[in-house]
A and B are shown apart, each in its own frame.
Chain A
Amino acid sequence: MSAVPGKYLTFFLGAEEYGMEILAVHEIIGVLPITRVPRTPPFVRGVINLRGRVISILDLRRKFDLPAVEPGPTSCVIVVAAHAAHVGLLVDRVSEVADIAAGDIEPPPPLGAGVRTDYLVGIAKSAARVRLLLDISRVIDAGDLAAAGPDGGAPTAA
């Protein structure tokens, strides 16, 4: 699948600028107190209370194997709807909502720079900037996450 032109929310992880389709974005919030969840992979930061709902927070730096840093004053959580649930993505800084035209999109290179290429659906080049476009539902792969726990266990009480 390749990236479709349209509005993208862009954000930074370190010096790299990424984009995700704005339609997937539910809201952007500051970093709330996070409760660590034991026995989960390192990229799972934990869970937060978002107005009475418990949502999980994934650290995109850790997910993309970038050097880990603690959340700073510009850090944000982008809440996205994926796989019938809301999930928060911890990023360093939210940049802007950009209109990305079809002509600006190039297919992802065969070998991504630091990012696993299967999340990448394209590269947008415009005004001397390079943005890596993500397929967010692949980043939050339900199967990947479910497999993260060592075993299934009982269904969770709803």
Chain B
Amino acid sequence: MPPASRRTPRAILSRFDELSAAIGRLVVSDLETRGALRTDVLALIDHVPAREARACVSLRLVAEALRPDRDRGERQPALHRAALALLEAVRTYLASPKASDRLSLIEGPERSAIAIMRNLPEASPALKPRTSDLIGLTDRRPRSVVARADSLPALALPNDTDRSLVGDFCDEAREYIESAEAALLVLEREPDNGEAAQTVMRAFHSIKGTAGFLKLDGLVALAHHGESLLGERRHGDGFAGRISALSLRALDALRDTVKNLDASRNGAPLAYPPGFLDALRELEDIDAEPGAPAAEPAGPRAASAPARDAGATHSARVRLDRLDALVDLVGELVVAHWMIAQDPASGHDHPERARKVAHAGKLVRHLHDMSMGLRMVPLRGTCNKLVRLARDLAQRAGKEVDCRVEGEMTELDRNMVELVADPLMHMVRNAIDHGIEPPEERQIRGKPAAGCLTLRATQMNGQVVVTLSDDGRGLQRDRILERAQARGLVGPGEVLNDADVLDLIFAPGLSTAQQVTDVSGRGVGMDVVRRNIQALHGRVDVQSTPGQGTTITLRVPLTLAITDGMLVRVGDERYIVPTTNVVVSFRPERSALFTVGGRGEMVRLRHDVLPLVRLHRLLDVPGACDDPAAALLMVVGAGERRCALLVDSIVGQQQVVAKPVTAGIGDVPGISGAAILGDGRVGLILDVPQVLELARRAQPNTQAVA
């Protein structure tokens, strides 16, 4: 949206001024003028730009305060003053669309107006403002909005809906749904946790409010019932499993609808997701049971500040592409500064300049840390999703699982969070499906009936380590080996140690599941997990003790934006090897080099024997050093595979901003990206797992890269 259109038209603001003046002149006993002014205020709401929905809430409150049939006693002047103050606050609010905390402009006056209205004599209880009135909902029960017919009015947005408002609603709703889901899972364990219940109710309530603005009646109804589900009855018979399951279904239905809404902004047809009507039906039925209370509004605070949780630190919504552009640019700045620092002109001969460059460097690094921090988000959202998944899967499989999460506040680059979520889901599926035994089997083995699944996240050495442990049956070494031999992954006479056997679960096409279920066991899974994680410059390892459980460990860098690399020279070319893949580098003695018949070149390093890979041959580099004893061997590894890469020399260690090279070329095997080097030229970043794979294929009849 162009900046100019964010402004509320001047004509509307001057209308505000006229109304303010009129309210200021208002005489308490002049009911007729009061009524007329109220109508004027309501009319004004229609002229407020649709995106300023929040202001409309306040204006409704002003209109409410002006209701002529309201109390005529001593409080009336105070109510007038409150209405006037609020009206003026709304004007300021509308006139300053860019103020940093503009919501606070109207919140204060709003609270005072509500306080006065709440304290009016009970004589006219119908006049007490209900939150649902204020946010534009009709007073009737949503049951009448959605008649108990077989059909739901088609999901549609009014023609004049501001599309950007829909986008905001979707973002906001997703956040609420996520927090509500997490809180529900807490409630399952601690049914008396009032705060969690509040969170869930507030989420439903807020979604209901905004959906009301957008005239999405179906959503309003669903959210309304979702809210009342957790109302008073919670204190009665406790937090029953049925309520929790229903609430989760309601959230799913909401989430799917929001997804459709979001997609509709790009032209997708808009419709309720399948299952929506069923969920609504069920909620209505439970709500209609005798004794079910109507939803109590979650309080004026929740209604008046839908975008903010109480006590949360203030935050601003920033478009992701802008954030990404900022982070990229800062990354470039780091590299650009490095170039200046490397320039001999800022060296020791010019101490004054060197000091300035060093100072700038400090600022640049600081800026870099800060900008990276902007994109860091806690893993909590992902953890919640995984716990939810584990719970659902266990239920379906008739197993009992106790999920524990540790370190959920560990932060990771936003882009990474999305990329590790899928592999983690695979892992959870495997753990529930194959790892944890059914309760009877567990009891026979002397274990508690409920299996334990622990998800632990920590940050160390610039990496995030996520482990998923179960106390299930563990991996069956013999079965894995059997399968691998049947599939030809392991030769008949080959001897493997335990770690090698376990590592086979990451081989493509290997599944030890005795039966294929609908969630896992189709023979795809762990190989995809490893591939995805390696694409992130991370690694996956597995440990397992038969009968006691399995632990899978993921290690990924904090961010993909910056790669720590070793710059190596091969002939006239330079390549970057990600430091995470580098084990050690050394110049071999001639005696350490040998050739195994038909198995290619090998090199001995202490007690290890490693395949030797001539990088220049793999990459067709002319003029490179061909004698390992005169050059350098760099031992690189990915997963359990290792090899010694022959390079001419190491130029140095450098942080680089990884960029794709695929534009116009397509994927290049062995190369994961490109980066601008200190001299302004482009250097290519080696994709070590792919290099190992290329080397293996280059010597097809060998086990060269073991």
Contacts and interface: CB of A to CB of B under 8 A. Distances in A.
B249 to A, nearest CB: 35
A66 interface: no
A156 B662 contact: yes
A37 B667 contact: no
Interface stretch (B70-78, B79-87, B670-678): B670-678
B680 interface: yes
A20 B536 CA distance: 39
Contacts of A111: none
B437 to A, nearest CB: 35
Interface stretch (B105-113, B358-366, B683-691): B683-691
B573 interface: yes
Contacts of A53: 659
B619 A39 contact: yes
B667 A38 contact: no
The contact size tier of chain A is 35 or more
A123 interface: no
B690 A49 contact: no
B682 A157 contact: no
Given A149-B666, A152-B667, A47 B332 contact: no
Contacts of A47: 661, 665, 674, 682, 684
B660 interface: yes
Nearest to B532: A154
A10 interface: no
A56 B669 contact: no
A150 B663 CA distance: 17
Nearest to B332: A52
A151 B668 CA distance: 8
B323 interface: no
A35 B682 contact: yes
A40 B668 contact: yes
A146 interface: yes
A155 interface: yes
Contacts of A82: 664
Nearest to A58: B664
B664 A154 contact: no
Nearest to A147: B666
Nearest to A88: B664
A157 B536 contact: yes
A58 B681 CA distance: 17
B660 A153 contact: no
A33 interface: yes
A57 to B, nearest CB: 8
B671 A38 contact: yes
A151 B682 contact: no
Interface in A112-158: 140, 142, 145-158
A152 B683 CA distance: 21
A49 B535 contact: no
Given A82-B664, A145-B665, A156 B673 contact: yes
Interface residues of B, number: 42
Interface in B628-663: 658-663
B535 A154 contact: yes
A149 B682 CA distance: 20
Given A39-B668, A49-B682, A157-B537, A87 B663 contact: yes
B661 A150 contact: no
Contact of B669 (A39, A49, A157): A39
A54 B661 contact: yes
Interface in B535-569: 535-537, 560, 563
Given A36-B573, A39-B619, A154 B661 contact: no
A147 B666 CA distance: 7
Contacts of A35: 573, 674, 681-684
B656 to A, nearest CB: 11
A153 B676 contact: no
B463 interface: no
Contact of A39 (B332, B534, B620): B620
Given A38-B621, A54-B661, A54-B682, A158 B560 contact: yes
B215 interface: no
Interface in A37-74: 37-40, 44, 46-49, 52-56, 58
B415 interface: yes
A157 B560 contact: yes
B671 A37 contact: yes
A48 B682 CA distance: 6
Nearest to B536: A157
B12 to A, nearest CB: 41
Nearest to B573: A36
B426 interface: no
Given A38-B620, A49-B682, A56 B661 contact: yes
Contacts of A154: 531, 534-535, 667, 672, 687, 689-690
B664 A85 contact: yes
Contact of B674 (A40, A44, A54, A149): A54
A153 B687 contact: yes
Contact of B535 (A55, A140, A157): A157
Interface string A71-103: 000000000001101110000000000000000
A117 B206 CA distance: 61
A146 B684 contact: no
B125 to A, nearest CB: 59
A157 B672 contact: yes
Nearest to A35: B682
Given A38-B621, A154-B531, A155-B535, A49 B676 contact: yes
- Most A CB within 10 A of own CB, among B663, B673, B690: B663
A37 B660 contact: no
A105 B674 CA distance: 42
Given A152-B667, A156-B661, 9 more contacts: A35-B674, A38-B670, A49-B682, A54-B659, A58-B664, A145-B666, A154-B535, A155-B535, A157-B660
10 contacts: A35-B684, A36-B573, A37-B684, A38-B670, A145-B665, A149-B669, A153-B669, A157-B535, A157-B685, A158-B415
Interface of A: 33, 35-40, 44, 46-49, 52-56, 58, 82-83, 85-87, 140, 142, 145-158
| A-B interface, 5 closest residue pairs, ranked by CB to CB distance from nearest | A85-B663, A146-B666, A87-B664, A38-B619, A154-B535
